[in-house]
Amino acid sequence: MADTTAPAPPSAARSNENRSTTPGSTGFKSFIASGWAERTDVLPSAREQAPFAAARRARISAQYPGQRLIIPAGRLKQRSNDTDYAFRAHSAFAHLTGWGSDSEPGAVLVLEPAPAGGHEATLYFRERAGRDSDEFYANPDIGEFWIGPRPSVAQVASDLALKVRGIADLAAVLHAVDSETLVLREADPNFTERVDEARLRFSAERVLGSNATDSPFSIEINAEHEPDAALARDLSELRLVKDTWEIAQMRLAVAATARGFDDVIADLPRSSVHARGERLVEGVFNTRARSDGNTVGYDTIAASGPHACILHWTRNDGVVAPGDLILIDAGVELDSYYTADITRTLPVNGVYSEVQRLVYETVREAADAALAVVHPGAVFRDVHAAAMAVIARRTAEWGMLPVTAEEALQPENGQHRRYMVHGTSHHLGIDVHDCAQARRDMYMDGVLEPGMVFTIEPGLYFQPDDLTVPVEFRGIGVRIEDDILVTETGAENLSAAIPRTATEVEAWVAAAQR
């Protein structure tokens, strides 16, 4: 069995010993350990999402009767030397616990099979240390002087309405690991290794008896470990249909994102005269994301001029020139981790040229066609097909295709995809590309159900050096992206309040800059 030492989160390699000035004298240690006011924990009421998280745990529990399930939050990731990226818990962990931006690195959720059926859920995390240790001032990773106070076990248990234990008790879980235990592998590779070792030892002991640790016998666990992969898949599919709390979070994320777009437009006069105007656009939006949410849900795309033809342009170091379009793909992520994903393509000087308007309205036509087919019972891939029919028809009319639109739409052809190589939709929620590990027959070939949330985001991208398009089209990139909720009777565009038509956008820009 695995050893019984507490699985402390390992620190990334640090290069700061040569500049460490942490006091170590007897006098200092004695003095810093004394003179502190007594702490009285105030236990919070259970957060609003706690019962929803419990219902999600019950659903995954029903799929794995009698099996121990381990879902780590993950750990800090090194950015450079002794600095880390901001911590973000794994989405499946957050989904099952209700813990979001205030979650603790190294935490682990364990669903232990209960004798009477179902599972008992326990959250393990590194609780705060007392002032009788040196951790609170000497440990920059988890010390209170460095990162602020951590909650107590009792506070987290009350907050999440969940059984909670200290991280040292996780050793007993590792000791009990058997061949049926499953772990969400990608969440915490270091901890997954420990689970694998425990499973190997369990299997070896069953074959060789108590002398297994002294034997060369070994059992390999494939890095993809099929049963673990099934758990990751099922946790991903668990998020395909959002509950009422999740839908409310999506509405809040969209509303915050709309305010971010308002901020960007109001600041266009400043960003359009700066050598790195795209950076200013990014910064203005990110300010809104930090003020009204946790952060951005993904790297903001602020792509002006021909940069709009680069699908994932995140360098954002170009000018924002009057006369050009700027494609802004951005979303605010809330403290719950739920994020919006909106794209608007704006005329920097407030007015579309004739060709810009033509391209823009064609993309909107494709988006509207895609939205029109959304209803319960429709197939997810039909949304993309509806948008592609418009793209093929219009590019054929403009003389860009070597075949007719009908021929281009045949599976063996697809010439129109030269101008839109990406898909039209992806699921959205606690991840910007949510449910990504779901099976194809549940995702791309899946049937739409009320409560599903996904994007509709067609585009047209005419590269500056594309000789198949007329000169006046070259360098124009347009995308319109909205967040769509499947309802009982059809669909709701959650972001419909953000101006969409060319005329509405021009009025939006003009009003914001008065």
State pLDDT tens for residues 37-92.
888 889 999 999 999 999 999 999 999 999 999 999 999 999 998 899 999 999 99
Cβ atoms of 282 and 300 closer than 8 Å: yes
pTM above threshold 0.85 = yes
For residue range 105-125, what is the model confidence (pLDDT) as tens digits?
999 999 999 999 999 999 999
Query: Which two structure tokens, joined as six digits, stand for 317?
Result: 């170091």
pLDDT at 133 over 90: no
For 32, counting Cβ atoms within 10 Å of its Cβ (0-12 exposed, 13-18 middle, 19+ buried), the class is middle
- Would you put residue 513 in left (φ > 0), alpha (ψ -120 to 50) or beta? alpha
99 backbone dihedrals φ, ψ, rounded to 5°:
-85, 130
CA angle 272, 274, 279 (to 5 degrees): 90
pLDDT at 235 over 60: yes
pLDDT at 8 over 90: no
Q: Where in the chain are all domains bearing CATH 3.90.230.10?
A: 244-512
pLDDT at 367 over 80: yes
CA angle 255, 260, 266 (to 5 degrees): 130
pLDDT at residue 5 in the model: 37
Q: Where in the chain are all domains bearing CATH 3.40.350.10?
A: 17-237
Most confident of 16-25, 31-40, 286-295: 286-295
Residues 6+ apart with CB under 8 A from 356: 325, 347, 476, 478
Kindly report the average pLDDT of the chain as a whole number: 92
- In angstroms, the CA 303 to CA 459 distance is 14
pLDDT at residue 464 in the model: 98
- In angstroms, the CA 240 to CA 493 distance is 17
Residue 442's identity, in one-letter code, is M
**Under CATH, which architecture does the 17-237 domain have?**
3-Layer(aba) Sandwich (3.40)
- In angstroms, the CA 176 to CA 199 distance is 9
CATH superfamily of 244-512: Creatinase/methionine aminopeptidase superfamily (3.90.230.10)
pLDDT at residue 491 in the model: 98
Query: Which two structure tokens, joined as six digits, stand for 285?
Result: 């939006």
pLDDT at residue 19 in the model: 66
Longest dimension (CA), the chain: 85
Cβ atoms of 329 and 300 closer than 8 Å: yes
For residue range 259-291, what is the model confidence (pLDDT) as tens digits?
999 999 999 999 999 999 999 999 999 999 999
